[in-house]
Structure 1
Amino acid sequence: MTTVDRDTVLATALRLLDEVGLDGLSMRRLADALDIKAPTLYWHFADKRALLDALSAEIAAAAMDPVEHPLPGQAWPEWLADRARAFRRGLLAHRDGARLHAGTVPRAGDTTSLQRLVEMMIADGLSQEDTLGTVLAVSRYTVGCVIEEQQATEPLPDADRHFEHGLRVLLLGAQQDSLS
């Protein structure tokens, strides 16, 4: 039997997610892949939900890294759209990525760039309520689109174009709110 660290557990869990999907990923299967006993996993994660939340955070962090900060002079709608596109790519890169992410809660350290986005939106005239609603709507829209794509029995025609259209509609509506 071997000793493993948290990063190894996460990397193996992500590999298993891609191989067997969310429904096939179990603590026992993960322990077997790591050649450890299942209770050893609980040193790193309190339960399966904690493991899944950590996996989701890893996927999101990797996807969002290139868009962590706005480009110089970039307006919030463009930055939010770039973030939504990156998030979508990250979720699509992993089997059941959107199902995994649905219902997770961001870790405290994961909200720094989100705070910057909120500040930009409020400075542009959106209320705090509308700002948070817009960010949630774009995130949930993205997750929903990816769930549809990943659950489809065959590739959805024009998925990219349809995603972009819906994203544009959401952002135009939010911008309109800032003007009223």
Structure 2
Amino acid sequence: MGTQKIDRAAVAETALRLLNEVGLDGLSLRAIAKELDVKAPALYWHFKDKQELLDEMATLIYRRLVAEFDMSPYTRWQDGLVAYNTALRTTLLGYRDGAKVYSGARFTGTDHAASMEQHLRMMTAAGFDLRRAVLAGMTSYAFTIGYVTEEQGVRPMPDEQREGYDIGERARRLAEYPLTAAAGAEIFADFDRRFEEGLRVIVAGIEAATTPGSA
């Protein structure tokens, strides 16, 4: 093993590269250390455990997202929510198990606050109080994370599909349940369209729940 110096950023970058090869279950500090040509204990100077590393990986993913996404052009909060969550999905799909890594992570540092502040200002300027602004953001975010988690369960990477999800074969096996069989084309195909439609439903629900006189 080599004795090269490493830092948190180098470890997280290497972990993200390995993630696309081995997935979250196969990602270990030992494998990362081997890739970096250092001894595994060297990584514990930077990360006490795998979860701390996942937090740093998620932070790096987030930084890449906000580096390419700007909320300021959107004058309607509806368009802003759709655009942000669409960008989030696109970013997460760039990593095998990206949604699992990102979900529940604790961002390191405070650089995520600027983007969140921008979002909350957009929502409060549109008439939301802070509680409802947070609820709207978290509801649309939860939909996106859940959707991408399920999507990556079928397609770990955009050009890769797991065995057992062939729509025609599924329909043949479930022939005695015609509606369930036909639903396969809606569940396991055309992920882009279904995400956009589902997100629009979420946004429409938020809009309906925040109109004057709503509960």
Instruction: Check whether TM > 0.5.
Output: yes
CA distance, structure 2, for counterparts of residue 43 and residue 69 of structure 1: 37
TM-score (norm 2): 0.77
CA distance, structure 1, for counterparts of residue 118 and residue 129 of structure 2: 15
Larger-gyration structure (1/2): 2
Asked whether the 8 Å contact 1:118–1:132 carries over to 2, the reply is yes
Q: Give the CA deviation at 1:120.
A: 1.7
Equivalent AA in structure 1 for residue 71 of structure 2: H
What pairs up with 1:110-125 in 2 under 5 angstroms?
110-125=112-127
> Residues 5-41 of structure 1, C-alpha deviation per residue, up to 9 Å, x if partnerless?
3222122111111110000001111111111111211
Q: Give the CA deviation at 1:58.
A: 1.1
Equivalent AA in structure 1 for residue 56 of structure 2: A
Local SS of the residue matching 2:127: coil
TM-score (norm 1): 0.91
Partner of 1:8: 10
Report which stretch shifted further, 6-15 or 162-171: 6-15
Local SS of the residue matching 1:42: helix
Unaligned runs of 5+ in 2: 155-161, 167-187
Equivalent AA in structure 1 for residue 89 of structure 2: R
Does residue 165 of the first structure (1) align with residue 188 of the second (2)? no
Unaligned runs of 5+ in 1: none
> Aligned Cα RMSD in Å?
1.7
Asked whether the 8 Å contact 1:125–1:179 carries over to 2, the reply is no
Q: Which of 127, 140, 143 is residue 142 of structure 2 equivalent to?
A: 140
Equivalent AA in structure 1 for residue 50 of structure 2: K
Runs of 4+ displaced beyond 6 Å: none
Q: Give the CA deviation at 1:166.
A: 1.1
Partner of 2:72: 70
Asked whether the 8 Å contact 1:12–1:33 carries over to 2, the reply is yes
> Residues 88-134 of structure 1, C-alpha deviation per residue, up to 9 Å, x if partnerless?
01111110001111111334221211112112212212222211111
